[in-house]
């Protein structure tokens, strides 16, 4: 695995309880270069996997620095309390790194690694890195699911990321690539964006969204005061698919909450709204995999954005662990 890095375990530090009260006290480490390592990951586990790549952001003309995102999220996640239901565990499976600017190779390696994790029945939790993480992540899911299964993509984002890739792939093209591939294969493309901003997407991107049948809620609709409407539309989308892949682009949040991103804006959404949506998603029982993208520590303030990412992961894995016990 040319693009693989094992985890620096010193990142996982925090308050010591001696009673496994914090995630850094309970996390387990696996080196996924060892094929036998997958055997230690089971159906009641969450497998953290980094994607250290901002080549796609560079190609897209953005501010680079997201390559450092995964380890900053690890540092903040380590400090949080272990609230997982009994019998559940968090593994750290290391990081897929983009070397020599070869983003496509890193995406392929990411896909194979995600497939391996899913093959053990665990839930992948990916941390990036540019939003080009989505292309490799989705292909990993597809490798492990039947072509007959409808996989829904839920993207919390200010951007459609439906830019054409005729001039090359980048962090703005992943869903365009997936949509075109679905067209060629005669497969449905189930994609919903929550938080789309008019000031962040040109007319051509809206036209692409219409061509591909993308469902979306614009920022004016994606508001706490409209949550009942958001919930209904979210449920309508989820009812059409068999499994859900959730991707959260941190630049969709207002810069009041997430300054440490490549494309910050004060006009984004709030964390509580995303948490409310995650609750509905978890309760659907269809969530198969999750990622968080675009953390750029170079522009963060007091690790505020990294803390947000860690808290979103903490909420999701805790909620999933208890939801599964109730099934």
Two tokens at 173? 């093209």
Question: Around Cβ 161, how many Cβ atoms within 10 Å?
Answer: 29
Residue 157 marked ligand-binding = yes
Angle at CA of residue 44, ends 43 and 48, nearest 5°: 90
Q: Inter-axis angle of helices 133-144 and 103-119, to 10 degrees?
A: 40
Q: Where are the alpha helices (DSSP H) in 69-202?
A: 69-78, 103-119, 133-144, 174-185
Residue 249 marked ligand-binding = yes
Give the three-state DSSP class for 83. coil
Q: Where are the alpha helices (DSSP H) in the chain?
A: 23-26, 55-59, 69-78, 103-119, 133-144, 174-185, 203-211, 227-239, 271-284, 304-326
Residue from 282, 238, 289 nearest 111 by CA = 289
Q: Return the residue matching tokens 């001039």.
A: 167
- Separation of first and last alpha carbons in the chain: 37
Distance CA 169, CA 187 (A): 21
Question: Around Cβ 179, how many Cβ atoms within 10 Å?
Answer: 20
Which residues fall in the annotated binding site for Mn(2+)?
A: 131, 157, 159, 161, 249, 251
Which residues fall in the annotated binding site?
A: 131, 157, 159, 161, 249, 251
């Amino acid at each position: 695995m040319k693009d693989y890095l094992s985890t620096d375990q010193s990142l996982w530090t925090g308050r010591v309880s001696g009673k496994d009260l914090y995630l850094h006290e309970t996390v387990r480490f696996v080196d996924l270069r060892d094929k036998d390592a997958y055997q230690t990951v089971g159906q009641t586990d969450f497998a953290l996997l980094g994607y250290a790549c901002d080549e796609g952001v560079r190609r897209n003309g953005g501010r680079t620095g997201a390559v450092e995102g995964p380890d900053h999220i690890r540092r903040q996640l380590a400090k949080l309390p272990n609230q997982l239901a009994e019998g559940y565990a968090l593994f750290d499976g290391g990081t897929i790194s983009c070397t020599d600017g070869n983003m496509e190779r890193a995406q392929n390696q990411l896909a194979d690694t995600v497939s391996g994790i899913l093959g053990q029945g665990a839930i992948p939790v990916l941390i990036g890195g540019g939003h080009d993480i989505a292309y490799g992540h989705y292909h990993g899911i597809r490798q492990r699911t039947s072509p007959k299964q409808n996989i829904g993509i839920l993207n919390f984002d200010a951007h459609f990321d439906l830019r054409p890739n005729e001039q090359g792939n980048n962090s703005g093209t992943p869903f365009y690539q997936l949509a075109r591939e679905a067209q060629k294969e005669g497969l449905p493309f189930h994609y919903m964006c929550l938080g789309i901003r008019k000031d962040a997407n040109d007319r051509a991107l809206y036209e692409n969204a219409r061509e591909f049948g993308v469902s979306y809620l614009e920022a004016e609709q994606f508001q706490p005061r409209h949550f009942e409407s958001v919930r209904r539309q979210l449920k309508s989308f989820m009812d059409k698919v068999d499994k859900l892949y959730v991707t959260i682009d941190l630049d969709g949040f207002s810069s009041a909450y997430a300054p440490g991103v490549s494309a910050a804006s004060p006009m984004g959404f709030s964390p509580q709204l995303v948490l409310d949506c995650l609750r509905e998603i978890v309760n659907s029982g269809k969530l198969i995999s999750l990622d968080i993208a675009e953390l750029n520590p170079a522009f963060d303030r007091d690790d505020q954005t990294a803390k947000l990412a860690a808290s979103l992961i903490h909420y999701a894995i805790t909620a999933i662990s208890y939801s599964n016990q109730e099934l």
